[in-house]
Amino acid sequence: MPAARILVADDDQRLLHSLTTLLMQQGHDVTSALGGKAACEQLSANAFDLAMVDLRMPEVDGFEVMSHAAMVQPDCGIIVVSGETSFTAVSRALRRGAQDYIKKPFDPDELLATLGAALDKQSLLRDHASIQQRLEKSEALHRYIVNSSPDIVFMLDNEGRFCFVNSKIETLLGYSSSELNGTHFRHIIDEQDVIRGVYALRDINVTAENPRTLEVRLKTRGSRKANRHFEITAFPIDHETWPLAADFNAYASGRKARFYGTARDVTERKEAEAFINFQAYHDLLTRLPNRALFKDRLNLAITQARRNEQNLAVMFLDLDRFKVINDTLGHAMGDRLLQAVTQRLEQCLRKGDTLSRFGGDEFTLLLPAIASHEDARRIAKKLIEALRAPFQLGEQEVFVGVSIGIALFPDAGDSLDQLIQNADIAMYHVKARGKDGYRFFTKAMSIDTANRLSLERDLRQALDNNELRVFYQPQVCANTGLVVGLEALVRWQHPERGLLYPRDFLPLAEETKLIVDLSEQVLAQACQQVNQWILDDHMDLRLAVNLSPIQVEHPKFVENLIKQLHDHNFPPQNLEIEITENVIMNDLEQISQKLRQLANLGIRIAIDDFGTGYSSLNYIHNLPIHTLKVDQSFVRGIRGGEGDACIVNAIVAMAHGLKLDIVAEGVETDAQLAYLKNLGCHQVQGFFYGPAQPAEAITRLLNQQRVRAVV
């Protein structure tokens, strides 16, 4: 028996001594207390495993000592050693917590046996308590680890019903862990993932070792909004390493855990992935498919159209005036405009059509499986019409137009790149013609790519090497036969290909914006040349120049033009600029302001190709227009006073009413000249009086004229 710390308390000195000696002989650590008071003091001061207490003691008796011990040393065992043998006393002592009772005078063997039993029992109790404590700690630790795991931790039984789930499920999904007891896990899987989810975990007990992972959405409850994405890892429980698992059940309802696993919330990662995916294939501003997605869809559509021998259309849309609006109202407004434009365009489309933002203010549209080009034409018209009404941007009302080029499969190309490029080319032909319209791509428009690139390079060189020539076409007064004006028409003296006409290179110049440099050179040459003729006694000689829409739209158009006139010292009243109706209509507000500035300086303004554009005559009242140029097509119609001649009649009558000058273009025959003269249209231009010619030829012509005048 191991040594114990024992307190012996008795008021009988002799007995105290003999008991102490007996116990010390057994090797115990014995403290003796003479009387109850001394015993209490010892209990307060030192720790004991056991106290042997007499009951009847003066002042402080054994019961009081026991009460005191219970208070200060509850773990200290008590054995009563007393002469008191009444039933009341014994039972009272046992009730107070005494472990045993020894009658005085005691038999030493009996006493030692009782003592041994009491000490044994005590050490058992002590061990038990400490095991209990360790268990509680360990359980708390594991509970803490499991519940504070960032993931849901669960166990399922053979059938897939929950036998355990940690409290994380409450914070993440809104279920309490106890309510899920016995519920099959499929009940918390999103409907769309249920089949996949159940299938993946179906045979998990068959394939041991390897964990199963799968991603599913789990249903949320309560105030949580959308269902969340989880990555689930599940293992079969290995009953060899955890034999108890076979009997384990957190809810003690008779089912046994067979699988355990974790479910990690990956919603944020999923959302980020989805966003990255969206961003890779969409334009974030308009939320339209981007270039990459468009090409993808077009590729598919081409394959399908080829297989089914169908047509499809690709449209290239470029907004007119967008850049001006963007520059003047700022990018935030520009962005809003793009969004508003997108909305209107989308309303014109059918379900299978793909509208994409190709970049900047360019859009592409795929119409798969169209019956004929009439379908494409109808949609193009609808799109143009949709953008016609003004857009309200804050305080501002703005107008944008759209130029649309259309390429049809298979006629306009049978590959993705060809279709897009040809739609683009067709679009530029719209732009070059004054915008806001649509055109179908035709073979005649295509300068094949290689050719195009070399032409662009050549054109840049031409500008550097002064290969551009200005030819002049006389504008003649039909009554006197005198040259009153000269229209400057550009030619390109190409080193290899000879003399090129505007139709061969102007579209490309517009497209590449080289038109700005080109015009500058033309105007410089013309100003210099015509100025010489003016100084050479042709004071009223008028120089007419053509302006491209791109030039007119440029914010510094007026400034640049004035500067050029100034640089060449050219009298503004001798200049007439020719623009088309469409240019004016594109941005009535801006353009009329610019024109007014120019008119105030004495510059004359002519409407070129009059009658072919909007034919909206209302604006003419409010604009500083001086001249209408009747388009060649109407003049060509003059043969015997039928058809188009009526239009000429109307235009001339109107011009007279508005007190505008009128120049008839493309006059080639006597008959045409006579008819026009008769109408009162006195200024004419055309092959009848001569084509556009180099300056030297014009000098000769003007000299003859002077000679005639002198004669």
Q: How many CB atoms lie within 10 A of CB 700?
A: 11
- Name every residue whose Cβ is closer than 8 Å to that of residue 698 and which is 6 or more positions away in sequence: 472, 474, 486, 533
- Residue 311's φ and ψ, nearest 5 degrees, are -95, 155
Binding mask 594-633 for ligand C2E (x = CB under 6 A): --------------xx----------------------x-
548 binds ligand C2E (CB under 6 A): yes
Q: How many angstroms from the chain centroid is the CA of residue 276?
A: 8
- Residues in 248-277 that interact with Ca ion by CB under 5 A: none
Which tokens sit at 516?
A: 């700005």
Looking at the chain, how many residues does it have? 711
By C-beta, is 403 or 473 nearer to ligand C2E?
473
Residue closer to ligand C2E by CB (options 79, 543) is 543
Both structure tokens of 238:
């290995």
- Assess contact for 399 and 587: CB atoms under 8 A: yes
With contacts defined by CB under 6 A, name the span among 417-425, 439-447, 500-508, 568-576 that binds ligand C2E.
500-508
What string of DSSP letters covers 558-611?
Answer: HHHHHHHHHHTT--GGGEEEEEEHHHHHHTHHHHHHHHHHHHHTT-EEEEEEET
List the single partner that 342 binds among Ca ion, ligand C2E, none, CB under 5 to 8 Å by kind: none
Residues whose CB falls within 8 Å of the CB of residue 379, separated by 6 or more in sequence, listed in order = 313, 315, 348, 349, 365, 367
Query: Is-contact 514 464, C-beta < 8 A?
Result: no
178 three-class SS: coil
Query: Closest CB to ligand C2E belongs to which residue?
Result: 686
| Interface characters, 248-267, with ligand C2E (x: CB under 6 A) | --------------------
Q: What's the CA gap between 363 and 319, in Å, rounded?
A: 8
Query: Whole-angstrom Cα distance, residue 236 to residue 257?
Result: 9
| Dist CA 156 CA 183 (whole Å) | 10
Q: Is 686 in the site for ligand C2E (CB under 6 A)?
A: yes
- Per rule CB under 6 A, count of chain residues that contact ligand C2E: 24
Residue 366 near residue 298 (C-beta atoms within 8 A): yes
Our finding on whether 587 is near Ca ion (CB under 5 A) is: no
H-run or E-run covering 88: helix 87-95
Where is 217: in which H helix or E strand?
Answer: strand 212-218
For position 100 contacting ligand C2E by CB under 6 A, the verdict is: no
Please report, for residues 10, 19, 262, 583, 667, the alpha-carbon distance to residue 98 in angstroms, rounded to integers and kept in the order given: 16, 18, 53, 116, 139
User: Does residue 501 belong to the site contacting ligand C2E (CB under 6 A)?
Assistant: yes
Q: What angle do CA 518, 521, 527 make, to 5 degrees?
A: 135
Least Å distance, CB 339 to ligand C2E, is 34
Residue with tokens 């000429």: 648
Determine, following the binding rule CB under 5 A, whether residue 578 of this chain makes contact with Ca ion.
yes
Identity of the residue, 363 or 557, whose beta carbon is nearer to ligand C2E in the bound complex: 557
Q: Which one, 144 or 501, has the nearer CB to ligand C2E? A: 501
Query: Closer to ligand C2E at the Cβ: 357 or 431?
Result: 431
Q: Is 519 in the site for ligand C2E (CB under 6 A)?
A: yes
Q: By CB under 6 A, is residue 489 in contact with ligand C2E? A: yes
Judged by CB, which is closer to ligand C2E: 310, or 632? 632
For ligand C2E, the closer CB: 339 or 465: 465
User: In this complex, which beta carbon is closest to ligand C2E, that of residue 248 or of residue 688?
Assistant: 688
Question: Quick one: tokens of 578?
Answer: 């020719």
Q: Is-contact 114 79, C-beta < 8 A?
A: yes
Q: How far apart are CA 600 and CA 593, in angstroms?
A: 11
Query: Is residue 546 part of the contact set for Ca ion (CB under 5 A)?
Result: yes
Residue whose CB is less far from Ca ion, 587 or 609: 609
Among 177, 546, 627, 683, binds ligand C2E (CB under 6 A): 546
> Which of 7, 38, 314, 506 touches ligand C2E by CB under 6 A?
506
* CA-to-CA separations, 152 to 149, 234, 268, 278, 308, in angstroms, rounded: 7, 11, 16, 30, 52
For residue 378, the minimal CB distance to Ca ion (Å) is 30
**Between 505 and 544, how does the x/- string for binding to Ca ion read (CB under 5 A)?**
----------------------------------------
Contact between 502 and ligand C2E (CB under 6 A)? yes
For ligand C2E, the closer of residues 430 and 488 by Cβ is: 488
Q: Among residue numbers 601 through 630, which ones bind Ca ion (CB under 5 A)?
A: 608-609
C-alpha to C-alpha distance for 706 and 200, rounded to whole angstroms: 101
Please tell me whether residue 547 binds ligand C2E under the rule CB under 6 A: yes
Q: Which does 502 bind (CB under 5 to 8 A by kind): Ca ion, ligand C2E, none?
A: ligand C2E
Query: Whole-number minimum distance, CB 631 to ligand C2E, in Å?
Result: 8
Q: Is 666 in the site for ligand C2E (CB under 6 A)?
A: yes
475, interface contact from ligand C2E, Ca ion, none, CB < 5-8 Å by kind = none
The residue (of 380 and 506) whose beta carbon lies closer to ligand C2E is 506
- Judged by CB under 6 A, the residue of 39, 561, 692, 702 near ligand C2E is 692
User: With CB cut-offs between 5 and 8 Å by kind, which of ligand C2E, Ca ion, none does residue 522 bind?
Assistant: ligand C2E
State the residues that interact with ligand C2E by CB under 6 A.
Answer: 473, 488-490, 501-503, 506, 519, 522, 546-548, 578, 608-609, 632, 666-668, 686-687, 691-692
State the residues that interact with Ca ion by CB under 5 A.
Answer: 546, 578, 608-609
